[in-house]
Structure 1
Amino acid sequence: MRPSNPSLLKLLALPLSQSKSTTHPPPFLLHAVRQSLQSASVDAKRQDQPIATRYAHKAIDKAADLWAGLGKADEGTWKRRAYVLGERMMDRIEYEEWALKAIDPALAPKLVSSKDSARVKETVDVLFPASLLDDKALLSSLKASLEHREPHHRSAMMKCLAFAPLTLPFAVIPVVPNFPLFYVLWRAWSHFRAWKASHYLSSLIGSPSLRLLPSSDLDSIYSSSSHPSPPRLLLTPDRVTIIVERFKMDDEERKELERAVGQSEKRLEQVKKQERESGTQKTVLEEQKKD
C-alpha cells in the first residue's frame, strides 16, 4: 500500500551546450532533485516494495558505505588505489545513465492515465529555462532519448549478468576482493535502474501527472555571466554552484552535475575535431578538383 499523502517529483531540464542547429533544442540533463519527494519518507515507501527489492536496496546501501570506506584508506594502499581507479571508471559512465538511475519509480509519484486526469494527486514537475527550451521541443527530445535509452539499458543489463560468471576465477586471489565481479554486478544493477526509470519516464509523457513549468530561477541562472568557458557550453561550473545552492542539492547531486559538465566539454571537443577533419577533407577534395 502506497502512502496516502501526495508526492511531488521535481525534475530540472538543464541545457548543457548550444545546439549545432537552430531547429534542434540544446542537449539537456534531466536531473531529479533528491529532496523533491515530499510528504512520504523513503523508508515508508520502501516498505511497500517487494522483499527482494528491499533487500537489494539494503545491499546497495551497504556496498556504498564499504566503497566510501575504501576512499578513506591511506595513500598507497591497495584499498586507496582501487577506490581511485573505481572513481575514474564511474566518471566515464554517461551522465544520462546517472541521471536516469537517480529516479526510482517505486518512490516516485504514481502516474495516472489521461482518462483519470481529474484524480491526479501526485505530480512530476519538469522545470526548464524558457529562454533556452520550449515545452514541445523538450518533450520531443526527451521522447527520442528514451526510445534509445530504454532498450539500450535493458540489453546492457543482460550482457553484464551474462558476463558475471566469467569473473568468478578472480575470487581465488587472496586478500583482494573480487572487484571484477562486484563491478559487473554493480553495472547490471545500474543499467536495471536506468531501464526502469526510462520506462517510467516514457509512461510519464502524455500523462496528466506531468507538468512542464517554465522556471524564472533557471532563466536567471543561465542569463547570469560566467567565467570564461569553452564556446557553446551553457552549463558551466559557476552555474552548477548556483543551481546546487538554489535548489538545496547535496554533494552527490553536485558531483553528478559536474560530471555532466565535464562530459559535455569532451563531447564538444570531439565535435570540433570532427568539424576540423571534415573541413580539411573538403579542402583537399577542392584542391584535387582544381588539379
Structure 2
Amino acid sequence: MPASADPVHRWIEAWPRTDFARSAVPLAEIRSGGPERDGIPSIDAPRFVAVTDADVPDVEPVVSVVVAGDARAYPLRILIWHQIVNDVVGGLPVAVTYCPLCNAAIVFDRRVDGRTVSFGSTGLVRHSDLVMYDRQTESWWQQYEGQGIVGAMAGVRLLAVPARLEAMGRFEERFPQGRVLVPPDETSRPYGRNPYTGYDSMPTPYNYDGPLPEGIAPLARVVSVGARAWSLALIRARGTVEVDDLLIEWTPGQSSALDAKHIADGRDVGNVVVRRRQGGGFVDVAYTVGFAFVFKAFHPDAAIVVD
C-alpha cells in the first residue's frame, strides 16, 4: 500500500500535534466517519433562551443537565447536527455529546489533569461511535466510553455527569425557569429534521463490522449503567425495574430522534430515568439509552438483560 493510502500516514500529516506512539486501542479499528476534522462543528459559545421561549415541540428529546440549581436542556434537534457542546453549567465545565450512529447522549466533566479542555470532532469513528479530540493536546477520545484512545491523554477517562434524556415537555415541567440551547445560526442547518431517517429501524448499523449482540436487534435501544444493560423493551413493559440499588423507570411521551424525517413525528420511545438509592432518597446517575450493538462493542463479555 502506498504511503498516501495509509490512513495512519495521513493522520500523522493532518494531526502533527497528536502523539500516535501512544494508543490505548488498535489504530486499525479507527476509520473515517465521512466528514473531515471539525466538519461537524462543535458549539463552543452556546446560547440559551428561557424554557417558555424555546421553539422545541414537547415530545422532542433533550439532554437535560442540572448542576447547582442551573438547569439546561440541549435538544437533539441541535445535537444531531453538532454532536458536541462545550459549556459551563452551575460552574462545572461540561461537554454535552451525542453520537447519532449509536444514539448515545453522554455528558462529561471537561476537567482533565487539573485543566479544562474543550472538544471537537475528528470526523472519525471507532465501532461506529464518535471519536472526539481535545483542542489542548489534540488527543483523540472515544465518546461512548469517555476515554482517551490516542495521544498524550491515551488511557485517561473523563468523569460522566448525571444527565437525563427526556422529552422537552418533561423538562419544562420539572424546571419552568430552566434554559434551552438554541442553534448558533437558525439558517445554517434544517434543525428539527432527522438526517438519519429510518436509521433506528435498520437491520444493521452503519460503518460497523464488530460483534453483534445475541437475542436482541443490533439497533434496539438498551439502557446501560456502566457495564450493565437492560433492553428498553423490557423497561417499557415493566414500567419500573429495580436492580440492587438502582431504580429504572419508563414513561411514554418522547419521540425517537432517528425515526421519521421530522424528529417531532418520530415514534414514541418514551422517557427513561435511572436513579440510585442514597440515604433516604434517590439521586440521578449517569446512564445511556444507546443501541445494543454499541454496548456489545464496548462491553463484549457483558450480557444485555432482555427478559
TM class, shorter-length: under 0.3
Greater strand content: 2
| Higher alpha-carbon Rg | 1
Higher relative contact order, structure no. (Cα contacts within 8 Å, ≥ 6 residues apart): 1
Greater helix content: 1
Q: Using structure 1 for the length normalisation, give the TM-score.
A: 0.24
